[in-house]
């Protein structure tokens, strides 16, 4: 690989943000190294379009096996790649799952961050390598101030958020102790068609598309009243890069400054396919009913109950409301959120509708696995 280009190392390159960030850095001429986990199945779907044959000259995108829970391999990869910039996006990133795997979340999300910072330090790269930590609005948890900004006190509400709080402070500490260029992006929720299917936005857009095509009857959700400040992941990774291009390292909140409920997100997603959904009832008995169907995209009928509450999706401690104040990022990074929530919903629903249509056509054509053997 060439040595004249800027070199970036991304942990979590196979995730939503990692894929968009790798694409962005490659478009800027970077040599990009990504850490992927060993898996029994291929897990590189989101970055397959960036794959470059390792046998060609000037390969600018390379994946390395690794894991944030293994410092030996992190040290080796940092030593081999000598990165100018490291983006630590890797994490067990699902808040609800972190209640099931609290120790793993602490190890990967908390101590994993320390492992990379230590790799930079012990390899003598503290003055060369800039470090970005994927911090999160979940740090605010039980909110102490509305809207939340860089100075708002933290009150984490999940093992995930507590682990991320350690990662936040160890990043600040290495900046202060060793003069490292290390900073935290405190990013509020950001979504896209690449979002994992079990986060609420993608779960909704995928289900609404499948309900519209008759592939699924009902969508089961948890807390419909949760309020979030949702932006587009593509816009947010640009800010991750911007944070490492400043004269001095600082922490920034990235958010849209607008908040909606999960319930409203469902309504917008339905509207995108012509399904008017009204919510009735309260608490665990609340349901979403089809009130009208416009156009010809949706097969469901007026009166169909297509959303129900399943308490299994309630969290032991919930983050009810998040709303960011991105004033600092606007002033210092020139941050302007480019995508509105309705545009984001439209993009996600249309992408999921396209893949649901493929499933629907396969089903209508009577395809079954054993056809292969005939
Ligand atoms: P994803 O869940 O889509 O991606 C997480 C990535 O981390 C995946 O590549 C995953 O690998 C990898 N990973 C998980 N565990 C490990 C581990 N032990 N070692 C190495 N890699 C690991 O998350 P997003 O892209 O949405 O988020 C990126 C980062 O930003 C995360 O740290 C998240 O916590 C944080 N964040 C996200 C926000 C959002 O709204 N999206 C908001 C604020 C912060 P695999 O593909 O194999 O699972
Ligand atoms: P969050 O995202 O916890 O904010 O973390 P998620 O989409 O999982 O939940 C958002 C809100 O929706 C409520 N909710 C449901 N959530 C899920 N996943 N599934 C459901 O069925 C459901 N029903 C209601 C949740 O209770 C919650 O209030 C995301 C992750 O990307 C983190 O890594 C990141 O740090 C934060 O965003 C900012």
Q: What would the pLDDT profile of 14-59 be if each residue is shown by its tens digit?
A: 999 999 999 999 999 999 999 999 999 999 999 999 999 889 888 9
pLDDT at position 373 = 47
Is the shortest distance between the CB of 138 and ligand 2 below 6 Å?
Answer: yes
Residue 267 token pair = 């309504």
Q: How far is CA 338 from CA 211, 361, 368, in A?
A: 30, 35, 43
Catalytic pick among 14, 113, 129, 136: 136
pLDDT at position 368 = 61
Distance 300 CA to ligand 1 centre (A): 35
- pLDDT, one tens digit per residue, over 125-158 is 999 999 999 999 999 999 999 999 999 999 999 9
Greatest CA separation found in the chain? 68
First-last CA distance in the chain: 47
- pLDDT, one tens digit per residue, over 319-354 is 999 999 999 999 999 999 999 999 999 999 999 999
Q: What is the DSSP string of 102-119?
A: HHHHIIIIIIHHHHHHHH
> Residue 138 catalytic?
yes
Distance, CA of 85 to CA of 133 (rounded, Å): 11
For the question of an ipTM over 0.90, the answer is yes
pLDDT at position 26 = 98
Distance, CA of 41 to CA of 4 (rounded, Å): 35
């Amino acid at each position: 690989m060439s040595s004249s280009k800027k070199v970036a190392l991304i942990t979590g390159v196979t995730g939503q943000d990692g894929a968009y960030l790798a694409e962005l850095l490659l478009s800027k001429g970077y040599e990009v190294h990504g850490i992927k986990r060993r898996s029994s199945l291929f897990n590189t779907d989101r970055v397959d379009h960036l794959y470059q044959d390792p046998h060609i000259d000037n390969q600018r995108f390379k994946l390395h096996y690794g894991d944030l829970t293994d410092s030996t391999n992190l040290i080796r990869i940092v030593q081999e790649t000598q990165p100018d910039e490291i983006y630590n996006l890797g994490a067990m990133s699902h808040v609800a799952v972190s209640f099931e795997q609290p120790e793993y979340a602490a190890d990967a999300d908390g101590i994993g961050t320390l492992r990379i910072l230590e790799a930079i330090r012990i390899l003598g790269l503290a003055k060369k390598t800039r470090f970005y930590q994927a911090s999160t609005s979940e740090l605010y948890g039980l909110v102490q101030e509305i809207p939340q900004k860089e100075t708002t006190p933290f009150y984490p509400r999940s093992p995930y958020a507590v682990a991320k709080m350690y990662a936040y402070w160890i990043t600040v500490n290495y900046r202060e102790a060793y003069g490292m260029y290390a900073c935290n992006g405190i990013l509020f929720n950001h979504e896209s068609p690449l979002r994992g299917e079990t986060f609420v936005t993608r779960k909704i857009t995928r289900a609404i598309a499948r309900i519209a095509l008759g592939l699924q009857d009902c969508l089961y959700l948890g807390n419909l009243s949760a309020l979030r400040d949702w932006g587009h992941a593509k816009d947010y990774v640009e800010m991750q890069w911007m944070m490492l291009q400043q004269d001095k390292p600082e922490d920034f909140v990235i958010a849209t400054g607008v908040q909606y409920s999960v319930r409203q997100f469902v309504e917008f997603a339905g509207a995108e396919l012509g399904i008017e959904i009204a919510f009735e009832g309260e608490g665990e008995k609340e349901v979403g009913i089809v009130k009208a169907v416009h156009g010809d995209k949706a097969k469901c009928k007026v009166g169909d109950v297509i959303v129900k509450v399943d308490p299994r999706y309630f969290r032991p401690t919930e983050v009810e409301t998040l709303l960011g104040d991105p004033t600092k990022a606007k002033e210092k990074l020139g941050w302007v959120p480019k995508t509105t929530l309705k545009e984001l919903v439209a993009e996600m629903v249309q992408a999921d509708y396209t893949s649901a249509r493929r499933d629907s056509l396969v089903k209508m054509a009577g395809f079954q696995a054993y056809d292969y053997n005939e």
